[in-house]
A and B are shown apart, each in its own frame.
Chain A
Amino acid sequence: MYFLRRLAWMLPLLLVISMLAFALVRVAPGGPFDKERKPASPEIERNLKAKYHLDEPLWRQYLRYLAAVAQGDFGPSLKYRNHSVTDIIAQGLPVSLALGWMAFCFAMGVGIPLGFYTAVRKGEFGDYAGSLAAVLAVCVPGLVVGPLLIVLLAIQWRWFPVGLWEGPWHVVLPTMTLGLYFAGRVARLMREGMQSTLHAEFITSARAKGLGDTQVLLRHAFRIAVLPVVSYSGPMLADLLTGSFVVENLFQIPGIGVFMVNSSLSRDYTMVVGLVLLYAALLLVLNLLVDVAYSVLDRRVVYE
């Protein structure tokens, strides 16, 4: 019931977000046709504006846009006018999804074991080394790791290709660059979750029942300790799946992260609103899924 209500709330929320995004890009000075045919003759610009209904009052443009979106048409890109927004997203999204998903798996695969290990070995050398590695991962931005990986592993030692998106070997460096920060975040969340869980009473009672360390840690503690990671994975996935400008730019990967930035810079109104809606919808759905997963993992949580 609760989840159905959340699902129903999504539509009005997306409506508000679309309105906000629509208003936001138009507040900025300049327009989508500024950089074309300089000096653009006023007639050409007027005609272009008329063609895309940019000369109408804002509220009417918005209603027109909504009506089109309701039929699944997100309009033509105002920068690449031979392509519709749907086309461009359909081309780039699979790449960004694939890369983002792999970076997610990398972050989880590295972060969860690392956080688990450092929490269990608290106060020992392994804890210090592992925790330092986790903080380091959070502090080294992609725009430092990426170039260094390219210079060392791709140019100097030629283990991996420098860029592009073709075979399995092309995936490794971008995935690491993108996932490293999130791996560090996950490790830290996991460590904190594990630490606070190990103090809980149900762990003491599990030990009192005579269960072994492995049983207690993996079956009893882990399930609750992983919850902070679970709730972080919603926003994390939304960020990862919609592409990253830095990684896509460094490795020349044809995803949609580059479009997110470039369309805002070039005032490609329809493209920006389309991408914002995509991101918001993804985030809302993922957060809902996270809450479902939460209540499955921790039965004490009941949503009214």
Chain B
Amino acid sequence: MSEAPSRHLSPNQRAWRRFLRNRPAIACLVLLAAALALLLAWPHLSRHAPDAVTDAQFAAPNAAHWLGTDVHGRDLLSRVFHGARVSLLVGVVGAVVSLVIGVTWGAVAGYLGGRWDSVMMRVVDVLYSLPSIVFVIVLLTTINGLLDKLQDKNLAAGDARAAQFICLFAGLGAVSWLTMARIVRGQVLTLRTRPFVDASRALGASHGRILLRHILPNIAGIIIVYLTLLVPAIILYESFLSYLGLGIQPPQASLGSLIAEGAGQINPVRIYWWLIAFPGAVLVGLLLALNFVGDGLRDAFDPRARA
């Protein structure tokens, strides 16, 4: 079971081996995969559609509705699973959007260096000191306004829903790329003076080729780590936006919008605890598992963790 340093392993391969030895992280990864399979299979297994309205309003958890029902008598279990799918989708796509923006911005800044670098990083500094919520609200309402104009030119309902999702992805991605840009820029800055970069430049490689083929593969590990940690952060942000009524619009649901619905039903007369407890628990479970995987990846890939 001992490490075999004599074999020629790239740093990334060694990092993967370290990650595979991290039991809690692997357990969470397996758990996530199982949860994902369940979420995808659920619509075919369940007797209740997530938006099927019944007369059983606010039923407590029972044999027919395992997690109870909501204000319209909809089955909470189906809604929670549906919401979890939407939340995960938003988290992953939002993270990828911010990855693309952040990596491009950071890599170009770090690679160019000098004056360009400082200008581009000042832009990041300024955006950092803008409250992200103001930025997101303006962005979302602007894109929504544009979509409304498009919609007047007869757009199918399905397309409109897709457009709304895209709008949300863009909004979430646009506010979460700053940290990624800083990390990538720092890494690229140290890599671009390395001999292998000089060598390929001497061989006449173009800037694009150097960046894509030589520099980015070297920081792929760190990018993956922060991508994994970004997914739960974006899921969290989406739940906050849903609480404001800016996220996923009904009849669609995300975990955040379900919790917000539940929080709206709090009153001293009757307590519908299941409306908050179950979506909340699923959200926390998802975030926990994602964070464990992300932490495990970071421990494996971050060079400082090798101490």
Contacts and interface: CB of A to CB of B under 8 A. Distances in A.
Nearest to A142: B240
A283 B266 CA distance: 35
Interface stretch (B43-51, B102-110, B279-287): B279-287
Band of interface residues on B: 35 or more
A143 B256 contact: yes
A293 interface: no
B28 to A, nearest CB: 11
A275 B262 CA distance: 30
B291 A138 contact: yes
Interface in B249-267: 256, 259-260, 262-263, 266
A147 B263 contact: yes
B142 A260 contact: no
Nearest to A152: B273
Contact of B259 (A20, A28, A147, A265): A147
A242 B131 contact: yes
Nearest to A27: B142
A144 B126 contact: no
Interface in A114-165: 135-136, 138-141, 143-144, 146-148, 150-151, 155-156, 162
Nearest to B145: A29
B262 to A, nearest CB: 7
Contacts of A13: 125-126, 129
B68 to A, nearest CB: 15
B133 interface: yes
Contact of B288 (A139, A146, A272): A139
A262 B273 CA distance: 28
Interface string A223-254: 00000000000000000001001100010000
Contact of B145 (A24, A28, A135, A147): A28
A275 B133 CA distance: 12
A276 B132 CA distance: 10
B126 A16 contact: yes
Chain B interface helix/strand/loop/mixed: helix
B141 interface: yes
Nearest to B140: A28
Interface residues of A, number: 44
Contacts of B133: 245, 260-261, 264
B145 A279 contact: no
B126 A264 contact: no
B138 A144 contact: no
B78 interface: no
B123 to A, nearest CB: 9
A109 interface: no
Contacts of B232: 139
B292 A135 contact: yes
B302 to A, nearest CB: 10
A199 B307 contact: yes
B129 A156 contact: no
A264 B141 CA distance: 10
Contacts of B271: 151, 155-156
Interface string A1-43: 0000000000001001100110011011110000000000000
A298 to B, nearest CB: 17
A284 interface: yes
Contacts of A283: 128-129
Contact of A139 (B259, B263, B291): B291
A288 interface: no
A123 B232 CA distance: 26
A250 B263 CA distance: 8
Contacts of B288: 135-136, 139
Interface hub of A144, A155, A250 (most chain B Cβ within 10 A): A144
Nearest to A188: B295
B296 to A, nearest CB: 12
Contact of B130 (A17, A140, A148): A17
A147 B262 contact: yes
A147 B243 CA distance: 12
Nearest to A287: B129
B268 A155 contact: yes
Nearest to B131: A279
B66 interface: no
Given A261-B244, A264-B138, A276-B134, A139 B145 contact: no
A196 interface: yes
27 contacts: A13-B126, A20-B130, A28-B141, A30-B145, A135-B295, A136-B288, A138-B287, A139-B284, A139-B288, A143-B256, A143-B259, A144-B259, A144-B284, A148-B276, A148-B280, A151-B276, A162-B268, A245-B133, A261-B133, A261-B137, A261-B244, A264-B138, A265-B137, A265-B244, A275-B134, A276-B130, A283-B129
